[in-house]
Structures are given as C-alpha cells and as structure tokens.
Chains A and B, each alone.
Chain A
Amino acid sequence: QVQLQESGPGLVKPSETLTLTCSVSGGSVGSDNYYWSWIRQPPGKGLEWIGYFYYSGNSNYNPSLKSRVTISVDTSKNQFSLKLSSVTAADTAVYYCARERRDGYKFDYWGQGTLVTVSS
C-alpha cells in the first residue's frame, strides 16, 4: 500500500523559505510512472496545484508560483521536497504531497496534509 507523509515546520516567518518533505513508502520516487506533486489549500478555500517533479529530471510549476518554487527528489531516502521562498501570509495553507500517475493523469495517493502558518 502506497503511503505519503509530509513533514516540516508548522510556522515560518515572512520572507523566509518554507521547506517541506514528503516521505514515500510502498512505491519508488525513482519510478518513471509518476509525477511527484505538491498541492496546497488555504484555510477554508479550494485546492491549488503547486507543481511536480518527474524522475527524468523534468519539473513543472504553477506560473503563479514559479519564481519561488523548487521541487526536488532524493531517491536515496525515497523522499521529495518542496521549497517556497519569500513567503507571505498568503502562503499560509495546508500543504499536501500527492502522486500523479502518468497513465491517466490522476492524483491517486495523497499525504494527510500539513498546516504551514506564515507569521512573525
């Protein structure tokens, strides 16, 4: 059974960099069959796709965040990470990691989500 688990600080100061890690079990981040993705949800609002990393080295980011986002993969730890720089209060959200299948392009497994608050 595939499981994803987010980890990282729950509080980040404005202008700093938010860093989250997603640990994957039951599957390999080195597989060519999936996009490893991050999605966020501000409190009480809808879902926003942040981007994905694909093992071949490709990545794709939401244009609205592209200048501030980096998603990377660590195959030795079977993890992938999100870095979002220069955060503001508008970046306060529950952050989810998710697996998107390349056959069907669907988010079939999600982490439980982690709330990150941006505040001084």
Chain B
Amino acid sequence: DIQMTQFPSSLSASVGDIVTITCRASQSISTYLNWYQQKPGKAPKLLVYAASSLQSGVPSRFSGSGSGTDFTLTISSLQPEDFATYYCQQSYSPPRTFGQGTKLEIK
C-alpha cells in the first residue's frame, strides 16, 4: 500500500493568513493526488484533484502543487469557513489511501 503522510497534523491560524499543508507519499504517485475538506459531521468535499486542478465551484484561494512524492495545499487569505480538517488522498493505485488529516483551527 502507498502510505500518505500529512504535516502538520494540526495548525492554528487567523483569518487572512496564508496556510500551507504538506502531503508526502511513500512512493512516486506522479500527480495522482487529491485534496478534500471535511467539516464536523459532514462528508469530505473535493477541493483539488490531479495535484493542482481546482474542482468546479471551489474558491480560487485554494491551490495545490507538487508531483512525485511531495505535494502542498495552500489556502491564501483564510476565511472563517475554511476552518476544517483537510485530507490528501492518492489515486495512483488501489488501495486508495488517505493522509491522517490536518486540523486547521482558529488562532
């Protein structure tokens, strides 16, 4: 299985800040990397797919980059509704695997 490691596991930030979350794969996955946002009691929501493509309807303050084993999700100018848990997920091969999550909290 391909292991996905996210860091940090938690992060405190303020409205307006720029935030970066990192995800590392245990082997090269090209750009088969997706990012999801999950709020308490809700299903995950797709934000970014194929490492850097923004899903339709997702605000442009979200962006993704990377290839191979190292990836980042950046949120420019944090908004109150962005405080949530974020997961990366590899779609290179089954079994699909997720990072352990990064909880973004209000400072």
Number of interface residues of B (CB under 8 A): 24
Q: A110 and B44: CB pair below 8 A?
A: yes
Dominant SS among interface residues on chain B: loop
Interface residue from A47, A51, A106 paired with B98 (Cβ < 8 Å): A47
Q: A63 and B1: CB pair below 8 A?
A: yes
Q: A: which residues have CB within 8 A of B?
A: 37, 46-49, 51, 60-64, 96, 98, 100, 104-108, 110-113
Smallest CB separation, B93 vs chain A (Å): 10
* Distance between Cα atoms of A49 and B94 in the complex (Å): 9
Q: B: which residues have CB within 8 A of A?
A: 1, 32, 34, 36, 42-46, 49-50, 53, 55, 87, 89, 91, 94-101
Most central of B34, B46, B50, B96 by chain A CB within 10 Å? B96
* Distance between Cα atoms of A85 and B73 in the complex (Å): 37
Known: A46-B101, A49-B95. A106 touches B87 (CB 8 A): no
Report A-chain residues with C-beta under 8 Å of the C-beta of B46: 106-108
Q: B32 and A105: CB pair below 8 A?
A: yes
Q: B43 and A105: CB pair below 8 A?
A: no
Q: A46 and B34: CB pair below 8 A?
A: no
Q: B55 and A108: CB pair below 8 A?
A: yes
Q: A49 and B49: CB pair below 8 A?
A: no
Q: A106 and B44: CB pair below 8 A?
A: no
A-B contact pairs, 5 of them (CB 8 A): A49-B96, A49-B97, A63-B95, A104-B49, A107-B44
